[in-house]
Amino acid sequence: MNIYQELKARGFCYQQTDEEAIEKLLTTEQVKFYVGFDPTGNSLHVGHLLPVMAMRLMQKAGHIPIVLVGGATAQIGDPSGRISARPMMTLETIEENVRCLRNQLKRFIDDGDGKAHFVNNADWLCKIGYIEMLREVGSIFSVNRMLAQESVKSRLENGLSFLEFNYSILQGYDFYILNRDFGCKLEMGGQDQWGNMVAGTELVRRKSGNEVQCMTIPLLMNSNGQKFGKTSGGTNVWLDVNRTSVFDYYQFWRNSDDAQVEKLMLYFSPLPIDEIKRICDPAGNINRAKEILAYEATCLAHGEAAAREAFVTAGTRFGFADPEKKVATTSSILTVDTANVQAELPTAEIDGAVFDDPAGVTVAKLLVLAGLCKSNSDGRRLIQGGAVSIDDEKVADPVAAVTRDSFKAGSLTLRAGKKNFRRVILK
C-alpha cells in the first residue's frame, strides 16, 4: 500500500480538504509538510504523540517534515478545545519551552542531511508590524467564517478574547510562510485544528494562487471517553524522564486496556500492520501484545537500551508474558534474554580498589557508587525507610557494609525501591 493508504489503515486520517488530491500528491511527489506544536510547557506528553507518529511514517516514506514549534503563537494561546483562556507565559518561559520541545521532537524525527526542517514561527510573526499584517491578510479572513469555526463557537458563551480570536489568522499565516519559503504543500494536525488549518489553505490560495491541502488526525480517547495520555490517577504521562520515569512510561503502555491494544500498536509502533493484527488477536496472548506495545513505544521515546531495562525490570517484578518467545514478531524485544535476566539487568561497574579495606564499603556509599542515589545521607534514608535490599535480602542497618566477599558470585543485585536497581560488578 502507498503511504496515504497506510495512514488510513493505521487510523490517522480524520478529515481532508481533498482526499484524492492528497493521495495523488503523496504518491507522485516528495512532499514537504508541516505539523505545529505550541510550547505551552517544557515537555510533550503522550497525548501529543499522534501527529508525531504520523510525521514519522511520512518521513519514512520519503517526505520531508517541517516541525514548527510556535514561539509566537504560544504568546497568544490556542482557544481550540478549551473552555477558558490559557495563562499568559513570560517570553523567557516560552523560549525555554521551545528549546525543550525541539530536543524531544528530535528523538522521533530524523533531522540529518535535509531530511527535516525545525522552525519557530517567532522568526516571522514577531517581526511583522500590526498594520502591515492587517493590510497583508486582514481582507482575506472573513469574520463570519471565523465565528463559524468550532474552536470559536464553543467559546463564545463563556467568553473569547480578541487576543485568542486572532490565533486562527496567525496559524493560517504560518502555512503561507512555509509554502512561500519552503514549498510546503500539506499541513497535518489534530481534528480540533480543522478550522485553523482550512483558513491556512484559503490564505495560501488567495495570496499566492498555490493549491495546498490539510489533513486532520482523530483525537484519541481512552476506554473511559477521556483524552488519551493520562494515568488512572488523572496525571499526564510525560516524555521528560524527570516527570515520568522510563519505568512508569513503560508501565503506562503495559497497562493498556485489552480492547485498545491493537489501535494503540497501529498508532505507536513501527511494526507492520498485518503483524500487529496477528499479535493482537483476542484469541492470542494479549499480555504479550501489551509487552510489545510498551517496549516499542518506550524505544521510540527513550531509546532501545532504556526500553530493554524497563521491560526486564517489569518482567522481573511481575513476570514475563511470553518467556518462551512463542509469539512471532519483528520487534527487537525478541533479543532480550529473559531466560538469563541477570545479563539484561542495568549494570554498574565499580572499581574493586574501593573494597581493599577489609571493613568494606557502607551500603549507603554503594548506592551512590551504583548511581541509585546522590549522597550517603540519601542512601541512609532509603535504608531507614526499608527500601534497600541486596540479592533480595532487605538491609535494615543504616551503617551496614559490603565487603569483597559479597561478590563471590561475581556480582550482586542492589535495589533502592521497587523500580530502581543495579547489577553491581567489580572491575
Residue 412 has pLDDT above 90, yes or no: no
212 and 252, same domain (yes or no): no
CA–CA separation, 194 vs 337, rounded Å? 47
* pLDDT score recorded for residue 323: 92
pLDDT in tens, 18-77: 999 999 999 999 999 999 999 999 999 998 999 999 999 999 999 999 999 999 999 887
CATH number, position 369: 3.10.290.10
More reliable by pLDDT, 307 or 153: 307
pLDDT level of residue 418 (50, 70, 90 thresholds)? low
CA–CA separation, 349 vs 227, rounded Å? 43
41 and 171, same domain (yes or no): yes
Nearest Cα residue to 384 out of 399, 369, 374, 403: 399
Residue 82 has pLDDT above 60, yes or no: no
* pLDDT score recorded for residue 198: 93
Task: Say if 234 falls within a structural domain.
Answer: no
* pLDDT score recorded for residue 20: 97
Torsion over CA: 309, 310, 315, 317 (sign): positive
Q: Judge contact between 41 and 87, C-beta under 8 A.
A: no
48 and 195, same domain (yes or no): yes
The grid coordinates of residue 287 equal: 499480555
Considering 200, 217, 234, which residue would you say is the last residue of a domain? 217
Task: Say if 178 falls within a structural domain.
Answer: yes
Binding-site residues for L-tyrosine, please?
Answer: 34, 167, 171
412 and 279, same domain (yes or no): no
Considering 335, 367, 382, which residue would you say is the last residue of a domain? 335
Considering 335, 364, 382, which residue would you say is the last residue of a domain? 335
Task: Say if 236 falls within a structural domain.
Answer: no
CA–CA separation, 177 vs 179, rounded Å? 5
Name the residue range of residue 398's domain.
347-426
304 and 362, same domain (yes or no): no
CATH number, position 153: 3.40.50.620
Task: Say if 226 falls within a structural domain.
Answer: no
42 and 143, same domain (yes or no): yes
pLDDT in tens, 153-187: 766 777 677 777 788 889 999 999 999 999 999 99
Mapped onto helix, strand or coil, the DSSP state of residue 390 is strand
18 and 113, same domain (yes or no): yes
Task: Say if 229 falls within a structural domain.
Answer: no
pLDDT in tens, 367-409: 999 989 889 999 999 999 998 988 778 899 988 999 888 887 6
CA–CA separation, 240 vs 229, rounded Å? 14
Q: What is the DSSP secondary structure assignment for residue 284, as one 8-state letter?
A: S
* Pairing relationship of beta strands 15-16 and 213-217 according to DSSP bridges: antiparallel
Q: What is the DSSP secondary structure assignment for residue 243, as one 8-state letter?
A: T
CA–CA separation, 276 vs 272, rounded Å? 6
21 and 92, same domain (yes or no): yes
19 and 65, same domain (yes or no): yes
329 and 351, same domain (yes or no): no
Task: Say if 208 falls within a structural domain.
Answer: yes
* pLDDT score recorded for residue 419: 63
* pLDDT score recorded for residue 86: 67
Matching residue, cell 480524520: 14
Binding-site residues for ATP, please?
Answer: 230
391 and 280, same domain (yes or no): no
* pLDDT score recorded for residue 80: 65
Binding-site residues, please?
Answer: 34, 167, 171, 230
Q: Which helix (H) or strand (E) holds 371?
A: none
Q: What is the DSSP secondary structure assignment for residue 165, as one 8-state letter?
A: H
Task: Say if 239 falls within a structural domain.
Answer: no
pLDDT in tens, 108-153: 999 988 899 999 999 999 999 989 888 888 888 877 787 777 767 7
Nearest Cα residue to 74 out of 55, 97, 52: 97
pLDDT level of residue 10 (50, 70, 90 thresholds)? very high
The grid coordinates of residue 104 equal: 524531544
* pLDDT score recorded for residue 44: 94
The highest-confidence range among 61-65, 79-83, 335-339, 381-385, by mean pLDDT, is 61-65
Q: Among 23-27, 242-246, 337-341, whose mean pLDDT is lowest?
A: 337-341
Q: Judge contact between 249 and 314, C-beta under 8 A.
A: no
Q: How many domains does the chain have?
A: 3
Mean pLDDT for all residues in the chain: 90
124 and 187, same domain (yes or no): yes
Compute CA 372 distance to the chain's CA centroid, rounded to the nearest angstrom.
Answer: 26
Q: Which helix (H) or strand (E) holds 389?
A: strand 388-390
